[in-house]
Chains A and B, each alone.
Chain A
Amino acid sequence: MLTKFEILETYKMIHEEYLDIRTITMGISLRDCCHPDGAVCRRKIYDKITAYAKDLVKVGRDIEKEYGIPIINKRISVTPVAMVAESCSDKDYVEFAAVMDKAAQELGVDFIGGFSALVHKGATPGDMKLIDSIAEALAATKKVCASVNTATTKSGINMDVVAQMGRVIKKAAELTADDGGMACAKLVVFANAPEDNPFMAGAFHGVGEPDCVINVGVSGPGVVKCALEKVKGADFSTVADVIKKTAFKITRMGQLVALEASKRLNVPFGIVDLSLAPTPAVGDSVAYILEEMGLERCGTHGTIAALALLNDAVKKGGIMASSHVGGLSGAFIPVSEDQGMINAVKTGALSIDMLKAMTCVCSVGLDMIAVPGSTTAETISAIIADEMAIGVVNNKTTAVRIIPAPGKAAGDVVEFGGLLGTGPVMDLNSYSSSEFIKRGGRIPAPVISLRN
């Protein structure tokens, strides 16, 4: 029999501490949608997505109601579109993004990810067409998310694509200048991209995945912070223990929802992603957890140690709570989506250099960073290259989601709205990296890739 205390604890976590399921993401393979005629290929894509996910939103709402836990987003991820679209002779793939958007609108899902290419070692003609289409595709659609994997530990960094992504990001920002460069918020550049990530903008359905799968991402920074408030001044063993116990409970919610969704949709369960995803709501912040540990402001000295502890304890607590853990599984540090991070940047406590360093010990990377509109494509590429190097050498996923906000300078603020929040424009190093980026080619895989 459950105790009163246990029931009220769960109640408080959900109603006062922002515990929620961030997303149920249905992964759908589009490998059987290839066709030499682009229009036919797109029709097959539309038909398959709308058939497979027809009950996704309804089932999500039913579970939300029955279990009394908010499920914020219902999303879809698909096979990297470059692999499917290159079966046809179309010159650009903007129409493919349009058809994904149409399917997402029809189904009522929040996002659809997978306008993607995996080019860590080299690009096929289809990959190049997709990358060339990204800026226009993201500007022309609402719910489509794009990602490009430019590096892996096994194969090194494809610097040709890194250079190109700087230009793509600039173009995407310019095409959506009226919305603060919004298209860039839907584009992620990866190293070691996971194939089963339920979180946007980087979700895609990997080639090793089944035909259809359910992945779930949880959220609960607020719960962790509230738990830590009860052990003020305690030593780090206690802090780690409290985080582990809390992460266990959060993840159990994710596992329950994932299994229930899988059963009701008759689709296999894939993974639960253990990431602590913040939201712009006050109190639902990863930065505030670090501050609760004793830092005056996130970004000051000690931030990396605090984040490393948090990230590790979340995994240790979560791993036993789920039968399959995957995706990104680490604390997220998206600046614009986290009130504590926003405050830290605005008060000068958190710099881009500290954020880069933080990505060495957590997931995912430089996430939702607004930078001055005057930033050059080469500088953006160089920032990407740094992040890719961190991911490749440390054998982990890293990513860059950066917004060169048109017309904005350091210290300004960009409003993205909703879960994407408010981005304070960050100052960058003013020296050039263009000769470095101009070299092109591949940065070889590091020695740690040779494990056999």
Chain B
Amino acid sequence: MRAVITVLGKDKVGIIATISKILADSNVNILDISQTLMQDVFTMIMLTDITDSSIAFNELSDRLEAAGKDIGLYVKIQHEDIFNSMHRI
């Protein structure tokens, strides 16, 4: 199962490090990272493979959101299918 992680907020040092540490600790593989500044908002989109994740989805989601909160960023992990169903026929 693949999941998309979206990170939005003010750019600062260590965003990728913070998120990828949680993913590495949970045995989640990063497939692709893309980041950009959109209207001064730092935006990072990460495609991950969570098939072999060592923790349940809910827990991973809670950890990412909490880590985001600590550094003042909005972090969300969502099943890839929500995007596929909306944008692909």
Contact = CB atoms under 8 A, between A and B. Distances in A.
Interface of A: 1-2, 4, 6-11, 62, 65-69, 249, 252-253, 255-256
A65 B87 CA distance: 20
Contacts of B81: 67, 256
Contacts of B83: 2, 6-7, 10
Interface residues of B, number: 25
B79 A253 contact: no
A298 B8 CA distance: 36
Given A10-B86, A67-B78, 6 more contacts: A1-B32, A9-B87, A67-B82, A69-B78, A252-B86, A255-B85
B76 A68 contact: yes
Contacts, number: 61
Contacts of B76: 11, 68
B86 A253 contact: yes
A8 B78 contact: no
Does more than half of chain A's interface fall in helix, strand or loop, or is it mixed?
helix
B45 A69 contact: no
B36 interface: yes
Nearest to A320: B89
Contacts of B79: 66-68
B78 A66 contact: yes
B4 interface: yes
Given A4-B45, A7-B4, A68 B77 contact: yes
Contacts of B58: 62, 65
Interface string B36-57: 1010000101010000000001
A65 B61 contact: yes
B83 to A, nearest CB: 5
A421 B33 CA distance: 43
A66 B80 CA distance: 9
B39 to A, nearest CB: 11
Contact of B4 (A2, A253, A255): A2
A8 B83 CA distance: 10
B6 interface: yes
A10 B82 CA distance: 8
